Chain A
Amino acid sequence: MNWIKQSFTRRRFEGELSAEIQEHLAEKVEELVASGMSREEATAAARREFGNVLLVEERSREVWRWTSLENFFMDLRYGARMLHRSPGFTLVAVLTLAVGIGANTTIFSYVNALLLRPPSGVTEPHQLLAAWNRLPDGSYMQFSYPDYIYYRDRSRTFSGLVAYGSDGERVSWRTGGETALIEGQLVSGNFFSVLGVQPVLGRDFLPEEDQVPLRNPVVVLNHAFWQQRLGSDLGIIGKTLTLNGASYGVVGVAPSNFNGIETGFAPDFWVPLMMQRQISPANDLLSNRNGYWLFVAGRPMPGVTSAQAQADLSVLEKQLAQAYPKTNKGWDAAVMSIVGVPAEFREFAVPFTAILMAVVGFVLLIACANIANLLLARASRRSREIAIRSALGAGRGRIIRQMLTESALLSLAAGAVGLWLAVLAGPLLLKLKPPMLSFIDIQLGLDWRMLAFTLLVSLLAGIAFGVVPALRSSKVDVASRLKDETLGSHGRSRLRNVLVTGQVAVCTVLLIGAVLCLRSLLSATSVDPGFQINNRLMVSLDLDILGYSESRGLAFYDHLVEEVKTLPGVKSASVANHLPLGFARMATIVTIEGYQPPPGLPGIPIDFTGVGPGYFQTMGTPLRRGREFSRQDMATSPGVAIINEAMAQRYWPGQDPIGKRILPFSPRGERPSLEIVGVAANGRYRNLQEEPQPFMFRPFSQLYESSAVLLVQTAGDPKPMLATVEREIHKVDSNLPVVDAETLAQYMSIPLFVPRVTGTLLGVFGLLALLLAAVGLSGVVAYFVSLRTREIGVHLALGAERGDVLKLVVKQGMRLSLVGVVIGLAVAFGLSRVLSSLLYGIRSTDPITYVSVALTLTAVTLLASYLPARRATRVDPMVALRHE
């Protein structure tokens, strides 16, 4: 409390101190006069012996704590005034930095949303732990319902374990005579109470509402859904929603900040797990041990560590493995923080965002080097001011502090602008997301983490570009500076050279990365996926909603394809369970005569899909041998299959596979074998960069699933046909909502998503880096010219050609940039392995890329040094020499 009193008495104290010192001096003068000195001499002597009065006062004041803060405010005021006085410099510096900081904050906003931000609206979200099955190969797997129940009832370390469906459930919602598709989530009855989420309207689920299958059709609504689709109806509680044809009683509306706890997915509503069969009628997942569809999370009891929780669940998993060796053998349990995207995606999201963070970090480094260069140039212009300040008694530390305060002012202003840029750019980046991924919900909103990150990055940047110039400029030789300010800048320009060389090097690394990613995007776009993309469209349908039986569903699809075929402008049509390269994937295990399965597996794993008659014709996939499936390949007829060339070559090398047989594995073993009736050309199935993989097609009719893709080959542009086909579908069944309708070209945005994002981002950041480095280099060359104006004047006066001068100056710039390029190439080569996982069809050490980037950079730096160099040739020798 003492300092509060001190601060009140501050002014008096300062007055007292000055008076005391004045008295001291006066006493001394008087004594000296008394000893015979003249008053003038005595005054000078007294001052000499006392030392610097101002400095003594400042030192004395500094003893009391307020001063450091006050100095800071003084520095701040002074800094603001200095920046205000050179608006051009301030503007350039702030904008350059803001772009650098903005890029960092933008990428960070994604890292934050995907990996760091805990689910909102949940009580104590950091306590929550997610539980996973850990498979022997180290991968993670969701839970089946019976396993979840086992955990829920026996765990001794959790005060509650909740389960929620890992896929959003798409259901039809009849509202005012229309059918809309909305996304819901099946959740355990304790979901809201364990998470500590209080509905703003009504209540959450009661325990008994999640005990008996299909007994309690109740729903809790998402706040946004209630607001946007139900007009914030305050009387909604007790009303019903018709979902998949059944009436659900609305019991509650969740608070507006709660969107579930699955990062990246915001359901429209929640229903109890017990309603699973009604929400997705195709499967009964409640009794199925093989259906792994639940995310499990829980709140550990107070004092329980995550290691204890892990041990607890491991014991339970071991018991399950013993009781059900067929499904759970070798499995373990794992717990981890609930924060961030689910474990399966984290393995991808972490390295991907890490690379992007590194890239934007580099861009910021280049920007910092530019500002450091500007500051150095400015410092030499300000050296007189600094010399005066230090002559007046400002210590070195005080001057450094002043300079750093100015840097901090710059970087904080830039941080504010950068944050604004990031808030604008973040959602823009989200537009790269293919429309088919509409269910992905990334919450980019500002939060304290983004603010803190921006503040931290700004301050770090301020230190990075401010420290060296500050240290440099504070080291002034007062006497020489006050006499003449044109001398002695050699050390300083060497530092600037190092900075520019570093910039060019970093820029080289970034550009190589950018070009590699862009070329990888190009090669991914030109990859032959094994089917034709132009003049094709696809419509995703799901009969689940209508509750059709298998035979009725098959008849429906058969009828639909025949109807669509007759439409004008349609060349052919077919159906498939799913298309390759999308999110869906089916795999089976087959036995092939003469082939030993890999150790530990009962057969050979093969990816496959079901396709209807005319699929290969419609998709434009050539058949090398044999025939297509026909309408005669029915559910009841003998099993047949079409394999791709890779499968034929691997398992029947040098033979004709037609007529050979494949035995699909089945735990019950009653499946009949499949006869190979055709060989199709190779394609890409899981992703675009894979090597040709064995793949198998089976008749749609023999693999019926309620969801399917209708494929149409059109005579012309498929876009206008989308509406026609949709109309046709509604003619066949007016109740059937279309899940998605798009051209195949649009569909390809899914496999192209990653190369497109990396290509776009690295391309943008690479260009930004190039621009910044070019500006930096030309600034250095311009500075070099201004330093040597006199020397150039002498050269010219002595008869040097202007061309010689040009060469001299450009050579200076080029030497720097060439060293930078060489260093950059070496670094890029060293780092090449980092990028290789993101590249398609191009090696990360691709020599053409390296050479072309080196040439481009050389050309750009040549231009960047040529422009200021031209100014050097216009030096008038007379003026330059008179400058002396």
Chain B
Amino acid sequence: MKNPDERDLFPGALEMMILRTLRRQPLHGYALAQHIKRTSNDLLQIEEGSLYPALQRLLKEGLVKAEWGVSSTNRRVRIYKLTSAGAKHLDREVLSFERMLDGITRVLAPEGS
């Protein structure tokens, strides 16, 4: 019975992936989960449930908004959309993530290369 947060790579990673996915198109929770799993080639083992607290946090900060709608399978679902604040936030996060990744890569790179 593990804590869903513990499968986050680092704090904010899940949020970043959600924002990135929503940038392409608005999605409801289930579709969002499936998309992230699929695109990560199932490398990231994310409990589907952990999406929801993350979505609440994004909602609260106004980075996404949600509306009730009907899914392609004709279910009443909440569809999440990126707000403009969310888009800006994503850009910033991705930038700083890339910098961090760059730094880590340099440190981990074999010496002399």
A55 touches B4 (CB 8 A): yes
B3 beta carbon closer than 8 Å to chain A: yes
Set of chain A residues within 8 Å of B50, measured between Cβ atoms: 51, 56
Q: A24-B29, A27-B30, A51-B50 are in contact. Are A63 and B4 (CB under 8 A)?
A: no
- Cα-based distance from A52 to B3 in the complex (angstroms): 9
User: B56, A51: Cβ atoms under 8 Å?
Assistant: no
Partner pick for A393 among B1, B52, B53, B71, CB 8 A cutoff: B1
**How far apart are B76's CB and chain A's nearest CB, in angstroms?**
7
Per the bound structure, the CA–CA distance linking A52 and B57 in Å amounts to 18
Q: Does A602 reach chain B (CB closer than 8 Å)?
A: no
- B24 sits at the interface (CB 8 A): no
Taking CB atoms and an 8 Å cut-off, the chain B residues in 20-49 that contact chain A are 29-30, 33, 47-49
- B75 and A49 form a contact (CB under 8 A): no
Whether B1 contacts A27 by the Cβ 8 Å rule is no
Could you list some 5 contacts between A and B, CB below 8 A? A49-B48, A51-B4, A52-B1, A52-B49, A63-B60
Q: Is the CB of B75 within 8 A of A51?
A: no
Q: 6 smallest A-B Cβ distances: which pairs? A: A51-B49, A51-B47, A56-B49, A59-B53, A63-B56, A50-B49
Distance between B85 CB and nearest chain A CB, rounded to angstroms: 14
A53 interfacial contact with B, CB 8 Å: yes
Contact B53 A63 (CB under 8 A): yes
Supply 12 further A-B pairs (C-beta < 8 A) apart from A23-B76, A49-B47, A56-B4. A17-B56, A20-B77, A24-B30, A50-B47, A55-B49, A56-B53, A57-B52, A59-B52, A60-B56, A63-B53, A393-B1, A395-B3
Question: Would you call B73 an interface residue if the criterion is a C-beta within 8 Å of the partner chain's C-beta atoms?
Answer: yes
A831 at the interface (CB under 8 A from B): no
Q: How far is the CA of A274 from the CA of B1 in the complex (A)?
A: 86
B13, chain A: closest CB distance, angstroms: 16
Q: State the CA gap A23–B30 with chains docked (Å).
A: 8
CB of B65 within 8 A of chain A? no
Rounded to whole angstroms, the CA-CA distance of A395 and B50 in the bound complex is: 15
CB-defined contacts of B47 to chain A, threshold 8 Å: 49-51
A205 to B75: give the CA distance in the assembly, Å. Answer: 87
**Chain B nearest CB, measured from A458 CB (Å):** 33
Asked if B30 contacts A28 (CB within 8 A), the reply is: yes
A62: Cβ under 8 A from any B Cβ: yes
- Chain B interface size, as a band, is 20 to 34
Which residue of chain B has the shortest Cβ distance to A3 in the bound complex? B60
* A-to-B contact residues, CB < 8 Å: 16-17, 19-21, 23-24, 26-28, 30, 49-53, 55-57, 59-64, 391, 393, 395
Q: What CA separation (Å) do A20 and B53 show in the bound complex?
A: 12
Q: How far is the CA of A24 from the CA of B48 in the complex (A)?
A: 9
Instruction: Determine which of B3, B29, B48, B57 lies in contact with A20 in the assembled complex, contact meaning CB atoms within 8 Å.
Output: B29
Contact for B57 among A30, A56, A63, CB less than 8 A: A63
A13 vs chain B, min Cβ distance (A): 9
Q: Which residue of A lies closest to B55 (CB)?
A: A60
Most buried by A among B52, B53, B60, B73: B52
Contact across chains for B77 and A23 when beta carbons are under 8 A apart: yes
CB B29 to nearest CB in A, in angstroms, measures 5
CB distance from A623 to the nearest CB of B (A): 91
What are the residues of chain A within 8 A of B56 when measuring CB–CB?
Answer: 17, 60-61, 63-64
- Selected contact of B49 from candidates A16, A21, A26, CB within 8 Å: A21
> A54 — nearest CB in chain B belongs to which residue?
B49
Question: Least Cβ distance of A537 to chain B in Å?
Answer: 82
Given contacts A20-B78, A23-B76, A64-B60, contact A50 B53 (CB under 8 A): no
> When the two chains form their complex, are residues A62 and B48 in contact, meaning their CB atoms are under 8 A apart?
no
Tell me the minimal C-beta distance from B36 to chain A in angstroms: 13
Is B3 a contact partner of A60 (Cβ separation < 8 A)? Answer: no
A16 touches B4 (CB 8 A): no
B57 proximity list for chain A (CB < 8 A): 63
Chain B neighbourhood of A17, CB < 8 A: 52, 56
Q: Which residues of B contact A23 (CB under 8 A)?
A: 29-30, 75-77
On chain A, the residues within 8 Å of B73 by CB distance are: 27, 30
Most buried by B among A16, A56, A57: A56
A59 to B29, CA, bound (A): 16
Instruction: Given A23-B30, A24-B29, A24-B30, verify A56-B52 contact (CB < 8 Å).
Output: yes
Min CB–CB distance B101 → chain A (angstroms): 28
> Bound state CA distance, A391 and B57, in angstroms?
26
Partner of B52, one of A21, A49, A395: A21
- In the assembled complex, the CB of B100 is this many whole angstroms from the nearest CB of chain A, namely 25
Taking the closest CB of chain B, its distance from the CB of A654, in whole angstroms, is 91
CA distance A393 to B71 in the complex (A): 31
Rounded to whole angstroms, the CA-CA distance of A63 and B51 in the bound complex is 13
Q: Which of B51-83 contact A (CB under 8 A)?
A: 52-53, 55-57, 59-60, 71, 73, 75-78
- A16 / chain B contacts, CB cutoff of 8 Å: 78
| Minimum CB distance partner of B31 in chain A | A27
CB within 8 A of B4: which of A19, A30, A59, A391? A59
Q: How far is the CB of A68 from chain B (nearest CB, A)?
A: 14
Residue of A nearest to B60 (CB): A63
A26 touches B75 (CB 8 A): yes
Q: Mark B1-16, 1 if CB is under 8 A from A, else 0.
A: 1011000000000000
Residues of A within 8 A of B77 (CB): 20, 23
**Given that A24-B48, A391-B1 are contacting pairs, would A60 and B78 also be in contact in the complex, using a CB cutoff of 8 Å?**
no
- A64: chain B residues at CB < 8 Å are 56, 60
Which partner residue on chain B sits nearest A59 by CB separation? B53
Interface centre among A24, A30, A50, A391 (most CB of B within 10 A): A24
Contact present for B53 and A27 (CB under 8 Å): no
CB nearest neighbor in A for B75: A23
Known A56-B50, A56-B53; judge A27-B4 contact (CB<8 A): no
* A-side contacts of B33, CB under 8 Å: 24
| Residues of A close to B71: CB separation below 8 A | 27
Q: A57 to B52: give the CA distance in the assembly, Å.
A: 8
Most chain A CB within a 10 A radius of its CB, from B30, B47, B60, B77: B30
Within the assembled complex, what's the spacing in Å between the Cα atoms of A244 and B78? Answer: 92
Looking at A21, A52, A63, which has the most chain B CB atoms within 10 Å of its CB?
Answer: A63
* B48 adjacent to A51 (CB under 8 Å): yes
Does B49 lie within 8 Å of A27, measured CB to CB? no
Cβ contacts under 8 Å, A63 to chain B: 53, 56-57, 59-60
Cα of A21 to Cα of B55 in the assembled complex, Å: 12
Specify the chain B residue showing the minimal Cβ separation from A61: B56
Q: With A and B bound together, what is the CA distance between A391 and B76 in angstroms?
A: 32
Nearest B residue (CB) for A392: B1
The chain A residue with its CB closest to the CB of B73 is: A27
Closest CB-CB distance, B44 to chain A, in whole Å? 13
Say whether A50 contacts B76, CB under 8 Å: no
A393 to B47, CA, bound (A): 15
Complex Cα distance A391/B1, Å?
Answer: 8
Kindly provide the distance from the CB of A44 to the nearest chain B CB, expressed in whole angstroms: 14
With A and B bound together, what is the CA distance between A393 and B4 in angstroms? 11
Q: How far is the CA of A407 from the CA of B3 in the complex (A)?
A: 27
Complex Cα–Cα for A395 and B4 (A): 11
Query: Closest approach, in angstroms, between the C-beta of B4 and any C-beta of chain A?
Result: 5
Given the complex of chains A and B, what is the CA–CA distance between A49 and B4 in angstroms?
11
A472 to B29, CA, bound (A): 39
Residue of B nearest to A24 (CB): B30
* Min CB–CB distance A29 → chain B (angstroms): 11
Q: A28 CA to B71 CA in the complex, in Å?
A: 13
Closest beta carbon of chain A to B78's beta carbon, Å: 5
* Separation of A246 and B59 alpha carbons in the complex (Å): 84
Q: How far is the CA of A725 from the CA of B101 in the complex (A)?
A: 101
Distance, CA A76 to CA B50, complexed state (A): 28
Please, which residues of chain B bring their CB within 8 A of the CB of A61? Answer: 56
Give CA–CA (A63, B57) in the complex, Å: 6
A residues within 8 A CB of B30?
Answer: 23-24, 27-28
Cα–Cα, bound, A63→B56 (Å): 6
CA distance A6 to B78 in the complex (A): 18
Report yes or no: A60 in contact with B52, Cβ–Cβ below 8 A. Answer: yes
The docked-state distance in angstroms from the alpha carbon of A257 to that of B19 is 65
CB distance from B55 to the nearest CB of A (A): 8
Q: How far is the CA of A704 from the CA of B96 in the complex (A)?
A: 93
CB of B48 within 8 A of CB of A50, answer yes
